[in-house]
A and B are shown apart, each in its own frame.
Chain A
């Protein structure tokens, strides 16, 4: 029996893989030691587990285990990286380059620094959600200390040209940071080959636990340093104080190991399911994929259904747990800033659905989702005066709407 609702919101968070949970459990009870306790076996065991997790993580992203700084999640990692670089490299300059489609953890951190004197360039994106390398190059100045561009977008799955961006940043003497939250564990990320100096990521986006994340900080060519944002015991090479979350770290390590071993198989299966879902939904007239379909994470599709209102659509697909481009939980009906940055009109942004598949998504669930969305969109269009006008060939822009 198919259990409803079906969870297809895996860009928001993923379920914990049972194998990850199993690895974590002993570290809550039996091996509860503080990894910073140097004088007894409880501490040594905890430290050993943390060191092992660092190796598992390093193996996934091709770095040195010492380059991993544990944090509470991607938001903290983004904050630590951007604020930490801004403070550490203040003598060199105050200019940061980012993009309009970044996550709020990056955008709001940049806005915070602007109040403290930073100059921030927000690069626009094209209709596919990609930044322009020429515009990036043109924005670089001698004062540019950091370029921070996300690896894969959380709403559309669009993957930026990371290597090319890193090369431009380095050519002008700036560091390159990426928010790897949606990409790590999903697609091959190689910090050496990609030229990444700092990278934020978190466990719960790829079947690990919530509340544990990491910041990769390069130690060689160049040696990157960030100013700590919390004072305390000087853990994590002085960059992030606080007793290590040993069970979480063990879980993150295990999630990385599973991702490394199973990524190829997961990607093949998920992209096939995603493509089938997308192809079927695009058989509905006036439906459009948002973002790039060629540079995209394998498990994501974001589709707008024209002439259907977003909140009504969400109500119609109640058997699916998905996200919409409509901020319908808040009183303000602000559509997604990411979709608007791609050039979508408000109504198309509102009527979008984001599907995020996971390792645990089944073909049966996708079959159900296809039927359910088609039925909801068709029903709502039969009820929509805009759809009727469109079908009659009336140009909606020619109508004088009574704004309210």
Chain B
């Protein structure tokens, strides 16, 4: 399979690989996917509670190059956004940015799910109601 230059770049030089302290109240963690499906993404955000802004984002992904690139790109986009702006990230933006082929669209869906799941974790930790997942891709 031919990967786009952007996928290869994110795969070769992934941004923001790592782990945030999930015990902290202002850290939200999303773990999506399943090993037997071939993709597991863990995406974490650290939020400045005063401004509701994401100050840091980290990921770890078990998956193909497109899954790694989708989550790497997502962490890049998340930093500096408010939580509400982050919620608005749509998987198709990731598809466009990385030029993912149709068989790899599910990687972008997983990244969007990981973002929403991390935000939900942050909300629940801070006494806010859990958001309904806007889309169900499954």
Instruction: Report which A residues bind B (CB closer than 8 A).
Output: 307-312, 315, 328-329, 331, 333, 345-347, 350, 382-388, 396, 399, 401-404
Q: Are B60 and A402 in touch, CB under 8 angstroms?
A: no
Chain B nearest CB: distance from A305 CB in Å? 12
Task: List which B12-43 residues lie within 8 A (CB) of chain A.
Answer: 14, 17, 19, 31-42
* In contact, A386 and B35 (Cβ under 8 angstroms): yes
B40 to chain A, nearest CB (A): 6
Q: Is the CB of A311 within 8 A of B64?
A: yes
Most interface-central of A345, A386, A404 (chain B CB within 10 A): A404
Asked if residues A402 and B19 are in contact (CB atoms below 8 Å), the reply is no
Residues of B within 8 A of A307 (CB): 62
Q: Contact between A388 and B19 (Cβ–Cβ < 8 Å)?
A: yes
Docked-complex contact A401 and B38, CB < 8 angstroms = no
CB neighbors of A among B56-75 (8 A): 60-65, 67-68
B14 and A404 contacting across the interface, CB-CB below 8 Å = no
Pick the contact of A315: B34, B65, B113, B137 (CB < 8 A).
B65
Give the contacting residue for B68; candidates A310, A312, A333, A346; CB below 8 A.
A312
Shortest Cβ gap from A65 to chain B (Å): 46
Tell yes or no: B50 within 8 A of A by CB.
no
Asked if residues A388 and B64 are in contact (CB atoms below 8 Å), the reply is no
Contacts of B67 in A (CB 8 A): 309, 312
Question: Across the interface, which residues of A come within 8 angstroms of B103, CB to CB?
Answer: 331
> Does chain A have a CB within 8 A of B1?
yes
Chain A residue at smallest Cβ distance from B106: A404
| Chain A CB within 8 A of B3 CB | yes
Residues of chain B at interface, number, CB under 8 A = 33
Known contacts A329-B1, A382-B17, A383-B68; decide if A402 and B62 are in contact (CB<8 Å).
no
Main secondary structure of the interface of B (DSSP, over half): mixed
Given the contacts A333-B38, A385-B42, A315 and B64 also touching, CB distance less than 8 Å: yes
Question: Are A401 and B19 touching (Cβ within 8 A)?
Answer: no
Write the chain A residue with the least CB distance to B103: A331
* Known contacts A382-B17, A385-B42; A404 and B34 CB within 8 A of each other: yes
Contact A404 B64 (CB under 8 A): no
Given A315-B64, A384-B62, A385-B62: A404 in contact with B38 (beta carbons within 8 A)? no
Query: A95–B14 Cα gap in the complex (Å)?
Result: 56
Specify which chain B residues have a CB less than 8 angstroms from the CB of A388 in the assembled complex: 19, 60
Residues of B within 8 A of A387 (CB): 62
Q: Measured between alpha carbons, how far is A347 from B35 in the docked complex, in Å?
A: 7
Complex CA gap A383/B103 in Å reads 23
The answer to whether A309 and B62 touch across the interface, beta carbons within 8 angstroms, is yes
User: How near does chain B come to A400, taking the closest CB pair, in angstroms?
Assistant: 9
A383→B19 CA distance, assembly (Å): 10
Q: B78-131: which residues lie under 8 A (CB-CB) from chain A?
A: 103, 106, 109-110, 113
Across the interface, B37 reaches (CB within 8 A) one of A329, A399, A403, namely A403
Quick check: A401 and B35 within 8 Å, CB to CB? yes
- A311 CB contacts on chain B under 8 angstroms: 38, 63-65
Contacts A315-B11, A385-B42 given; indicate if A309 touches B63 (C-beta within 8 A): yes
Q: CB-CB < 8 A to A384: which residues of B?
A: 40, 60-62
Of A315, A331, A404, the residue contacting B33 (CB under 8 A) is: A404
Q: Given A312-B67, A312-B68, A402-B32, A385–B61 Cβ distance below 8 Å?
A: yes
Question: In the complex, what residue of chain B is closest to A329 when comparing beta carbons?
Answer: B1
Q: How many Å from the CB of A336 to the closest CB on chain B?
A: 14
Closest to A310 in B: B38
Given contacts A403-B34, A404-B110, contact A386 B68 (CB under 8 A): no
Given contacts A311-B63, A386-B40, 6 further A-B contacts (CB under 8 A): A309-B64, A310-B38, A315-B65, A385-B41, A386-B62, A404-B34
